[in-house]
Amino acid sequence: MLSVTGLRKVYGRVPALDGVDLDVPTGTLTAVLGPSGCGKTTLLRCVAGFERVDAGAITLAGRHVAGVPAHRRRVAVVPQEGALFPHLSVAGNVGYGLNRAERGSGRVEEVLALVGLDGYGARMPHQLSGGQQQRVAVARALAPRPPLVLLDEPFSALDAALRTELRRDVRQALRADGATAVLVTHDQAEALSIADQVAVMNGGRIEQSGPPTTVYQEPASPWVAGFVGEAVLLPGTTHGAMVETALGRLPLRDPATDRVQRNTTVLVRPEQIDLRTEGYGVVATVVRHDFHGHDALVALRLADGTEVTARVNSEAGALSVGQLVGVAVRGAARAFDTTSPGADGHPSHTTPGLAGQR
Ligand code: ADP
Ligand code: MG
């Protein structure tokens, strides 16, 4: 439905978009995931037709949209908040983009039901909670059956519990209506949980796109690995299908396609690191313990001084700082060619999941 190739947009001398390629299949939800300032909003504004692009092409339903004004692209946009007309009722807001016949056809009621607001048509926006207002904004976007719905961090102004519920419901509404949508977010949990495809964006480019499991399990670069979840990155030396690291000799996830060299950067996820008693695997010292309710992250220092993070279930919370433990890795490691773009060169310690800090 949407295809973006080589898209560039420069503000002054700073490229906000530096060659973006993105394909969004009909009827699917793509999450564009990236840190603040990486160009997510600019990308949406270019696709919607609010910005002139400096280079590259955008096709919508197979047609080039260069020179097509925003209103003729019919792309719907759901902003972060404050999207509703305050003086119009819920039904008035949802029916705003519809003609008389469409308004009479029951479409307004249909999309309100899809977002869980059956019977709310007569309410005014100020009589709704923040979450309900975002539901109305989604219903209004869906109402005219646009070829594409763009959502710009639509849940970020809401508190955590509400956000989880709303993103589930909105995804279901988009699915039920057969909509094609692009949602941008800086929240990796949000992207992984709702999207059919995740496009990871950094510095005005898409570094990787693919199904959520692929992006998490087979990140294209150490940067992607660290942004999409927690990553333990270690220097390693490959020997055929194995790699030697401070965590021991580990099997490589995909020795054939990992473009490995002898010296490489190795990724394991904290949930792959098993903690037992001393005498098992390699020895490590507990340096920190962060309890998260459902699990805990334990920072460990290995004999050579490298720090790594293990995810343990909360019953293992009896660990104390300074304690010696035995550590081993379950499953396979991923190796990065350290000369590939995105490899930062220096053998890093644990990169905390950035999304968790926001
Ligand atoms: P994101 O939505 O990922 O946080 P944006 O697309 O808003 O990022 O911004 C990308 C970059 O472009 C940033 O460096 C931002 O400062 C810059 N930028 C965005 N809009 C403008 C503008 N209208 N004028 C100048 N610079 C802008
Ligand atoms: Mg933005």
Q: Is 45 in the pocket of ligand 1 (CB under 6 A)?
A: no
- Rounded average pLDDT over 126-143: 95
- Rounded average pLDDT over 262-271: 91
Ligand 1 centroid–CA 145 distance in Å is 29
User: What mean pLDDT, rounded, does the chain reach?
Assistant: 89
- Which protein residue's CA is at the shortest distance from atom 12 of ligand 1? 16
Are 286 and 299 contacting, i.e. CB atoms less than 8 angstroms apart? yes
Report percent pLDDT > 90 for the chain: 73
Q: Is 104 in the pocket of ligand 1 (CB under 6 A)?
A: no
- Rounded average pLDDT over 84-112: 93
Q: Is 125 in the pocket of ligand 1 (CB under 6 A)?
A: no
Are 148 and 76 contacting, i.e. CB atoms less than 8 angstroms apart? yes
pLDDT of res. 349: 37
Are 180 and 147 contacting, i.e. CB atoms less than 8 angstroms apart? yes
pLDDT of res. 341: 44
Q: Report residue 317's pLDDT band, with 50, 70 and 90 as the boundaries.
A: low
Q: Is 38 in the pocket of ligand 1 (CB under 6 A)?
A: yes
Are 19 and 10 contacting, i.e. CB atoms less than 8 angstroms apart? no
pLDDT of res. 51: 94
- Which protein residue's CA is at the shortest distance from atom 26 of ligand 1? 11
Ligand 1 centroid–CA 115 distance in Å is 31
pTM score: 0.88
Q: For the segment 215-247, what is each residue's pLDDT rounded down to a tens digit? A: 999 999 999 999 999 999 999 988 888 999 999
Q: Report residue 338's pLDDT band, with 50, 70 and 90 as the boundaries.
A: low
Report percent pLDDT > 70 for the chain: 91
Give the span between the Cα atoms of 56 and 176, in whole angstroms.
33
Q: For the segment 287-309, what is each residue's pLDDT rounded down to a tens digit? A: 998 888 888 899 999 988 999 99
Residues ≥6 apart with Cβ < 8 Å to 50? 70
Q: Is 95 in the pocket of ligand 1 (CB under 6 A)?
A: no
Q: Is 41 in the pocket of ligand 1 (CB under 6 A)?
A: yes
pLDDT of res. 73: 93
pLDDT of res. 261: 59
List the domain boundaries for the chain: 2-217, 230-336
pLDDT of res. 124: 97
Are 211 and 228 contacting, i.e. CB atoms less than 8 angstroms apart? no
pLDDT of res. 276: 84
Options 3.40.50.2020, 2.60.40.1930, 2.40.50.140, 3.90.226.10; CATH of 230-336: 2.40.50.140
Q: For the segment 161-177, what is each residue's pLDDT rounded down to a tens digit? A: 889 999 999 999 999 99
Query: Which of 7, 11, 184, 206 is the pocket-test mutation for ligand 1 (most atoms within 8 Å of CB)?
Result: 11
Residue 322 has pLDDT above 90, yes or no: yes
Residue 344 has pLDDT above 50, yes or no: no
- Rounded average pLDDT over 120-132: 95
Give the span between the Cα atoms of 234 and 179, in whole angstroms.
42
| 15, 16, 42, 262, 296 from 11: Cα distances, Å | 6, 7, 10, 42, 43
pLDDT of res. 215: 96
Residue 336 has pLDDT above 90, yes or no: no
2-217 belongs to CATH 3.40.50.300: yes
pLDDT of res. 353: 38
- Rounded average pLDDT over 196-211: 97
- Rounded average pLDDT over 84-98: 95
Q: Report residue 253's pLDDT band, with 50, 70 and 90 as the boundaries.
A: confident
Ligand 1 centroid–CA 151 distance in Å is 17
Ligand 1 centroid–CA 150 distance in Å is 17
Q: Is 11 in the pocket of ligand 1 (CB under 6 A)?
A: yes
In terms of Cβ atoms closer than 10 Å to its own Cβ (0-12, 13-18, 19+), residue 156 is middle
Query: Which of 10, 42, 153 is the pocket-test mutation for ligand 1 (most atoms within 8 Å of CB)?
Result: 42
Residues ≥6 apart with Cβ < 8 Å to 250? 236, 242, 243, 266, 268, 329, 332, 333
Angle between helix axes 160-176 and 130-142 (nearest 10 degrees) is 20
Q: Report residue 160's pLDDT band, with 50, 70 and 90 as the boundaries.
A: confident
pLDDT of res. 11: 95
Q: Is 44 in the pocket of ligand 1 (CB under 6 A)?
A: no
Ligand 2 centroid–CA 191 distance in Å is 15
- Which protein residue's CA is at the shortest distance from atom 25 of ligand 1? 11
Higher pLDDT, 339 or 17: 17
Residue 356 has pLDDT above 80, yes or no: no
Q: Is 16 in the pocket of ligand 1 (CB under 6 A)?
A: yes
